[in-house]
Amino acid sequence: MGTKSGPRSFGSVVSILLFVAGVLIVLIGIAVSIALHEVGHLVPAKLFGVRAPQYMIGFGPTLWSKKKGETEYGIKAIPLGGYVAMIGMYPPAKGKGDVGATDLGASAAATTRPTTTGVFQQLADDARRASAEQLQPGDENRMFYQLPVYKRIIIMLGGPLMNLIIAFVLLAILISGVGTYQNTVRLSEVHQCVVPAGEQTERAEAGDVSCASGDPEAPAYAAGLLPGDTITEYDGVAVAEWDWMRLTELIRATAGETVPVTYERDGQTRTTSITPMLTERPELDAIGRPATGADGEVKMIEVGFVGMGPEQRLMTLPITEVPGKVGENIKAVADVVLDLPARMVAVGRAAFTDAPRDVNGPISVVGVGRIAGEVSAMEEIPLQDRASTLVGLIASLNIALFVFNLIPLLPLDGGHVAGALWETLRRGVAKLFKRKDPGPVDIAKLLPVTYVVAGLLLTMGVLLIYADIVKPVQLF
C-alpha cells in the first residue's frame, strides 16, 4: 500500500520553495548590484575616452561573452564580484616616457622591460607587460593614467556611487512608498519602576516582572504618562510621529534635569514635567540598535532613562527623510568597518568555540542568503512585509558595498582614489617649490600591497562563509 502525503508534508514543501525563492531573489539582487557597480566605472571611462576591452561579472573562467564595439561583455564562473578592464592603468616605468604614437608596440615593450632583478620590481614589470599586451594602434591618448586626476577619481568613484544610488532608490521605495514599521512617539507601555539593566534578564528568566520594594519609581510613570499618550514636544523640541530615535536621544542627554513634556491624550494637548534618571543602559548605534563590541557583548553606558516604550506602526515617511535614513545606515556600516579586524577575530572565535555570533557583526553572502530564505519561509508574516525585508536586505548590501569600496587600500576603489589624491598632492608640492613634475603615481609598485590586501579579503570571506555555515547569525 502507498502512503498518502498530508498537509504537513505539503507545508514543508511550500516552506522549502519559499526559502529557495528568497535566496534566489537576494542573489539576483546582488548580481544586479555588482553589474551596476561596474557600469558605474564603465560609463564615465567611455565618456572620457578610455578604451575598456572587458566588462565582466564574476571571476575565473568565462561562461558567456559577447563583443559589442570595442568592449567584450561577459559572465564568469565565480560570482564574487566583477571588473572593468581599462587600458593604461599602470604608467610607464620612470625614465621610459609615454607610449609614443610612432611605434606603440616597441614603446610598450620598452616600458615593461625589467630594470632590476628585485621581486617587487619584477611584479611591477610583469603587470606593465601584461597591460601593454592589450594596447592597440590608436590607444596612444586613450590610457587611464593619462587622464586628469579628477576624471580618474570620477571613474573610480562611479562604482560605489552607483551602489549608493541603488540603496537610496530602494530605501525611498520602502520608506516613502510601501511603508516600514517605525517606532512612533505614541506610547505602548509605561513602566512603574526602573529595574537595573543587570537585573532585567535575571528577573525575566525567573518570570518576575513586578517591581521590587527597592526599585525607584520610573520618571514617566511619576510624570503621569500613560500607554496611548503621544509625545509631541520634549524640552521645547518638537518631535514628529516617527521620531522615537530623536526623542530617545533627547531623553538620554537630559539625565537629572527636570524638563517640560507636551503630549496628546484623547485628542487633548497636555503638559507635564519629567526628570530622566541616570542609569546604565545599552549604547545605541546610528539606527537605534543596541551597539555591540568586537566580542559581541552589548556596550553599556550611563544615560537618562524614563521607562516608557514606543508603539510600532506601519507608516510611510516623507521623501525628505530618506537621505537621513541612508546616512544612518552608512554610519552603522562604517562603524563596523572601522572595527573590522577585532570583529573578524570575534567571528573566528564564535566559529571555533562556544562564543555567540554578534548579530550586528559582518556576515557573508551565504549568511545573507540564509536570512533571506528564512524571512521568505515565514508564512505567518504578511507577504508585503516579507518582500519589504528582502528589498531592505538588498539596500543594506549596497550600502555595505559603497562603504567597503571606499577603504583607501588597493585593489579597492578607494585605493585608486587615494593614489590619485596623493599624485595631486605630490605634483602640487613640486609645482610650489618649482621642482620637476614627478609624474603619475606608479600603482604597479604597490602590487605587493595589493596582493596582501586581496589575500586578507579572501581569507576574511572564507572565514565568514564557514562561520555562516557552522554558526549562523540568529535574527529570529
Of 195, 191, 219, nearest in space to 206 by CA: 195
Alpha-carbon span 28 to 443, nearest angstrom: 34
CB 90 within 8 A of CB 442: yes
Of 83, 152, 142, 77, nearest in space to 443 by CA: 152
Matching residue, cell 529557495: 20
Instruction: For residue 368, count CB atoms less than 10 angstroms from its CB and return exposed for 0-12, middle for 13-18, buried for 19 or more.
Output: buried
CB 244 within 8 A of CB 264: no
3-state DSSP: the chain helix, strand, coil percent, rounded to 5?
A: 50, 20, 30
Assign residue 60 a region (left: φ > 0; alpha: ψ between -120 and 50; beta: otherwise): left
Alpha-carbon span 347 to 363, nearest angstrom: 9
Matching residue, cell 552589548: 298
C-alpha cell at 62: 568565462
Catalytic residue, chosen from 38, 321, 374, 423, is 38
**38 has catalytic annotation:** yes
The dihedral of CA 228, 186, 239, 191: what is its sign? positive
Matching residue, cell 587622464: 147
DSSP string computed for 198-226: HHHHHHHHTT--SPPTTPPBPHHHHTT--
Residues with catalytic roles: 38
